[in-house]
A and B are shown apart, each in its own frame.
Chain A
Amino acid sequence: MTDKAVIAAHDVHRSFDSGKHVLRGVDLDIPRGSVVGLLGKNAAGKSTLLKCILGLLRIDEGTMRVFGEDAWWLSAESKARLGYVPQEVKLYPWMRVRQMIAYTAAFYPSWNSAMVDRLVREWELPPDDRIGPLSVGQLQKLAIILALGHEPELLVLDEPVASLDPVARRDFLRAILEFTQNENRTILFSTHITSDLERVADRVAILRGGRIVFHDGLDTLKESVKRLRITAAEELPPTFAVRGSLHMEVAGRSALVAIAEANDRLIDELRTQWDATIDVEDLSLEDIFLEMHHVG
């Protein structure tokens, strides 16, 4: 674990009673002050990983440390530095919005009432309404406000924008950007909406097959994963292969190849070997994700 790592997961394994081995040796160090987007297909284990990080689920093997403490045995001091928005928000339906805020505030040593009030106002949450009749989106907004109220050093969000409309999503992203102005604050969030992730995250972690297959800066990912459009002088053989390819489609003299670590040397080699013209295309995060999961 590096000194600055807020979350340090090493060789984390976790399986369920059904026999499903969801996490198969996850290694993930998240540095302080970073905004990390966790990507993965449905049932890849994103929620399980987030729950293990928060100590909501116990890991079978490996080590999981948050603020330097064992995640399962987090102290009250560490919990006061944590904020969490679950995928399924469970709050007392009979409480009014302001009562729920007061209830939550009572448990934290510091609470930024001014910020909470401002967010309630800006996000148009009715403070005197009961929680039960709130829509899923409003409930999600309230959960986010409750998680931000004590200004946590580490904010973990499990698909926070899934239920939000475009306006609310934009407001949420603005709040996240505002939140990260303090360089001590770290955010880890899972999402399927890659455009949102591109807007706020500076790092990306991709979970596949129970392991983190990529964890680095978003720019690094975009610079390293490219799509090559190859047009060879002669028909490409069935054995045509490119080192480090994620996905490949070959038809006659043409090939479309997504590669994980594109560099000039590799491209020159291909050009020379197949007497080909090669166009290098940049990919959006969504395209990278699709290529990594072999979806055409």
Chain B
Amino acid sequence: MLGRQVRQVLRVYTTYLTFWAYVLLWGLWHLLYPPILSGDFIALFMIAFMNGMIGAGIGRTLGVQFANPRARLMPEFSTAHLLIAGGFVAIAVSTDVTLALLCEASALRVFAMSIGAIGLSILGTLNFGRMKRVSTLLWVALIVLFCAVPNPDESLLLKRLVADPLFQATFGCLGLAAMVAAGRQLIRLSEDSPGYDALDDGVDWDRPIGYPTSRRQQELTKKAASFPPNRTRRDILFNLAFRHMPRPGRWRRAVLRQVVEGAVVLWVLPMQTLVLLMFLWTGNKGSDLLHDGDRFLVCFVPFLVAIGLSSNSWTIRRDHLARESLLPVGRKDFVRDMARATAFEMWVAAAGHCLVIVAALALFASEMPNAGFIGAWLALTVAQYFVGFSLMSWLNAYSPSCGSVVAMGVVCFAMPGMTAAVLAGANQGDSLFGGTVTLLGVAAIAAISFGRLAWYEWRQIDFD
């Protein structure tokens, strides 16, 4: 009987598009794995990051499945679901360990980082609703810790994490303990559990393969329309801003939206700064600050931020879409307004990114590179934010499909790859101008194409 249950549950998981997006990302990541394993600190960070992503995906999916009365009342429901989740974790960890053995890297270190990151991430994702403050404090503490350590290679904590088997084993055990705690929490999950509503909402979060887009649009719109107006502060401020203010300007409205929605971008900025500084600080400290192995990763950050920011903003806005569409603006203006609000966030994130690059160059570079190199780096960075923004606007317009997810995967890896190649070429004396202009052209075409697709989709959305 267990075999039958496992087969049924497996079908549920593999039906979701995000599952295959994760598989794609995971596969591509393992292509990069061997060169990264040679580094110490960066290797640890990247293993933790990737496995943390996998843990977040597993945690989110499990939470959604368990936030349903059926989960508590169906016999052996928990067993079957936890078994499948355990299988995914085992595959992720064993692949990492196998690659580490093949690359003659420390298998214990990789095992500990993988299992630790996955376990802590699953537990963190399940408790995100009640851990917002804790995670914010954790980020602040990390930034302070990071700034307090003059050189990561000399940090006692990092040294021990890289070299001390006992310390690594402890981290791995922490991850295992977190997994056990997450399992216990899921088995006991009930309507009373903190964050249950957020997990419950997640039923609509993912898109199953082969499910008609039109039906999905209707479901999401129905959900949006029936969303109870319980975010009073937001509603009051919105009404104030849109109905009672004497025609606020377009960009002023975008700023007002930030105030009302809690300015997510301001929470993203420290995280983005931390990640960038970590890469740039540990570079070879040449004139461009970029080590060969890190270049792609640094160029990947804009996409990561753009995707995360767009998705998060969209999640916040989706629930209010039906009511906001009733505000006294025309359909086109309304769509433009939504796009402008996300574009504003992208500008802030891109500006923050550029500032970190300039600051890092001024602080850490052995010599300041020429203005052309800096200009090209900044221009390509901003371009990537806007390609990411357009792509996500399209994906968020209710119509993700297999094709669009593949497009996302290709663009996510192609743009940073090309940017890294242009910057590396400039370092080796190649012409910077030609590569930069070509890439900016490609970025502009991609941004405009995805933007037009998004614009088309958004105008079709039935708000009623």
Q: Bound state CA distance, A58 and B193, in angstroms?
A: 10
Contacts of A58 in B (CB 8 A): 190, 192
Q: Bound state CA distance, A92 and B71, in angstroms?
A: 13
Contacts of B68 in A (CB 8 A): 90
B interface residues, how many (CB within 8 angstroms)? 28
Task: Choose, from A48-56, A168-176, A179-187, A218-226, the stretch at the interface.
Answer: A48-56
Q: Bound state CA distance, A86 and B190, in angstroms?
A: 14
A–B complex contacts, Cβ < 8 Å, 14 sampled: A51-B191, A56-B72, A76-B75, A79-B74, A90-B68, A90-B69, A92-B12, A93-B215, A94-B15, A103-B8, A103-B12, A107-B75, A130-B215, A133-B215
Chain B residue with minimal CB distance to A99? B11
Tell me what chain A mostly uses at the interface: helix, strand, loop, or mixed: loop
Tell me whether A102 and B8 are in contact (CB under 8 A). yes
Tell me whether A77 and B75 are in contact (CB under 8 A). yes
Q: Is B208 an interface residue (CB 8 A)?
A: yes
Chain A residue with minimal CB distance to B6? A106
Interface residue ranges, B against A (CB under 8 Å): 1, 4-5, 7-8, 11-12, 15, 68-70, 72-77, 80, 190-192, 203, 208, 210-211, 215-216, 219
- Contacting residue for B190 out of A57, A84, A92, A104, CB 8 A: A57
Contacts of B73 in A (CB 8 A): 54-56, 79, 82, 84
Tell me whether A107 and B208 are in contact (CB under 8 A). no
Q: Is A80 an interface residue (CB 8 A)?
A: yes
Task: Give the distance to chain A from B219, nearest Cβ to Cβ, in Å.
Answer: 6
Contacts of B4 in A (CB 8 A): 106
- Contacting residue for B8 out of A84, A94, A106, CB 8 A: A106
Contacts of A109 in B (CB 8 A): 1, 75
Task: Give the distance to chain B from A197, nearest Cβ to Cβ, in Å.
Answer: 23
Tell me what chain B mostly uses at the interface: helix, strand, loop, or mixed: helix
Contacts of B215 in A (CB 8 A): 93, 130, 132-133
Task: Give the distance to chain A from B417, nearest Cβ to Cβ, in Å.
Answer: 34
Known contacts being A76-B76, A79-B73, A103-B8, is A56 close to B211, with CB within 8 Å? no
Q: Bound state CA distance, A82 and B77, in angstroms?
A: 14
Contacts of B11 in A (CB 8 A): 103
Tell me whether B72 and A55 are in contact (CB under 8 A). yes
Q: Bound state CA distance, A56 and B72, in angstroms?
A: 7
Q: Is A123 an interface residue (CB 8 A)?
A: no
Contacts of A274 in B (CB 8 A): none
Contacts of B69 in A (CB 8 A): 51, 54, 56, 84, 86, 90
Q: Bound state CA distance, A211 and B388, in angstroms?
A: 58
Chain A residue with minimal CB distance to B210? A94
